[in-house]
Amino acid sequence: MFADLSGKVALVTGGGQGLGLGIVLKMAEQGADIAIADLNEENAASAARQVEALGRKAYTARMDVTDRDSVNTGVGSITAEAGQIDILVNNAGVAGAPGSTGTAFRDIDWEFTWKVNVKGLADVTEAVLPQMRERQSGKIINIASVAARAAKYITAYYATTKMSVIAYTQACAREFAAENINVNAIAPGRIWTQFHQDWMKEREAMGDEAVAGKDKYAVFMASLKEVIPMGRPQEPSDIGALAVFLASEEARNITGQTIQCDGGQVMV
């Protein structure tokens, strides 16, 4: 075990699939009990079964991070069931409004993406914070994106929200440091999750010749070879492993950082 999370309870938003599920499973493997808060209850239940199969306790809550009542109810029910939340992973995120055209100018894309990726993330943090403050202990990990520092490859509204996650991480890290609460972010690179697959479909619908009529996975692999020095995609488990480290006591002196996990696409 490289970082022991035994006795800790981790809440992962959007933990039912993709990157969030990778974080859920890595943290459970390292001994944490896990709460999965997701819009999609079926996926949350399936993730919970996988956590239990690893011998850990699992809790689920249907949560919409854009709805403050839903956030407060979800955090309240998980805290009542699990006793406390020691680790918060703000992972739920979107790349546009449902049916996004991928253009940078639709109001609905700006508003929807902001509500989930930034305001929703902040609302979940505020809901969990009082108990961390009371215990003078906590770990918060925000999922940003390579898109923040390599914005030319993605829409303006998505990149802007992810840069905001970095700014929010730094502001919170400074504010909560004296209460022994670490706040860090991970900037994942390119991962073949539903998120990326939906984006390919949207590009095709827009008539993007680079993807129209082509094998989307092959397009994905070819595109990342151009920009990622290591030439390979990232996996949910890669992000999970980094999240485990940041949540562990070994990382107690790391705060306010955004760590790239992108095969070297961005070097800071």
Ligand X SMILES: NC(=O)c1ccc[n+]([C@@H]2O[C@H](COP(=O)([O-])OP(=O)(O)OC[C@H]3O[C@@H](n4cnc5c(N)ncnc54)[C@H](O)[C@@H]3O)[C@@H](O)[C@H]2O)c1
Range list of β-strands (E), the chain = 9-13, 33-38, 58-62, 87-90, 138-143, 181-188, 258-261
Q: Contacting ligand X (CB under 6 A), which of 79, 113, 145, 248?
A: 145
Per CB under 6 A, the segment of 1-9, 62-70, 97-105, 148-156 that binds ligand X is 62-70
Q: How far is the CB of 169 from ligand X (least distance, A)?
A: 13
Q: Contacting ligand X (CB under 6 A), which of 106, 133, 196, 216?
A: 196
* CA gap 122, 115 in Å, rounded: 10
> Cβ neighbours of residue 159 under 8 Å, at least 6 residues apart?
145, 147, 148, 151
> If binding is defined by CB under 6 A, does position 17 make contact with ligand X?
yes
Q: Contacting ligand X (CB under 6 A), which of 160, 193, 248, 255?
A: 193
- In the complex with ligand X, the residue whose CB is nearer, 97 or 251, is 97
Q: How far is the CB of 194 from ligand X (least distance, A)?
A: 4
Q: What angle do CA 32, 37, 43 make, to 5 degrees?
A: 95
Per DSSP, the chain holds a count of helices (H) and strands (E) of: 10, 7
Q: How far is the CB of 218 from ligand X (least distance, A)?
A: 16
Q: Is 162 exposed, middle or buried (0-12, 13-18, 19+ CB in 10 A)?
A: buried
- In the complex with ligand X, the residue whose CB is nearer, 73 or 180, is 73
> Cβ neighbours of residue 240 under 8 Å, at least 6 residues apart?
22, 23, 24, 25, 26, 27
Contact 66, 116 (CB under 8 A): yes
Q: How far is the CB of 92 from ligand X (least distance, A)?
A: 4
Q: How far is the CB of 105 from ligand X (least distance, A)?
A: 20
> If binding is defined by CB under 6 A, does position 143 make contact with ligand X?
yes
> If binding is defined by CB under 6 A, does position 74 make contact with ligand X?
no
> Cβ neighbours of residue 194 under 8 Å, at least 6 residues apart?
17, 18
Q: Contacting ligand X (CB under 6 A), which of 5, 9, 14, 75?
A: 14
> If binding is defined by CB under 6 A, does position 259 make contact with ligand X?
no
CA distances from 22 to 3, 147, 162 (A): 16, 20, 20
Residue 107: how many CA atoms within 13 Å on its side-chain side? 0
Residue numbers 111-140 binding ligand X by CB under 6 A: 116, 120
Catalytic-role residue among 59, 153, 157, 158: 158
- In the complex with ligand X, the residue whose CB is nearer, 72 or 180, is 72
Per CB under 6 A, the segment of 32-40, 99-107, 213-221, 249-257 that binds ligand X is 32-40
Q: Would you call 165 helix, strand, or coil by DSSP?
A: helix
Q: Contacting ligand X (CB under 6 A), which of 41, 195, 204, 237?
A: 195
Contact 84, 108 (CB under 8 A): no
Give the residues lining the site for ligand X (CB under 6 A). 13-14, 16-20, 38-40, 43, 63-66, 91-94, 116, 120, 143, 145-146, 188, 190-191, 193-196
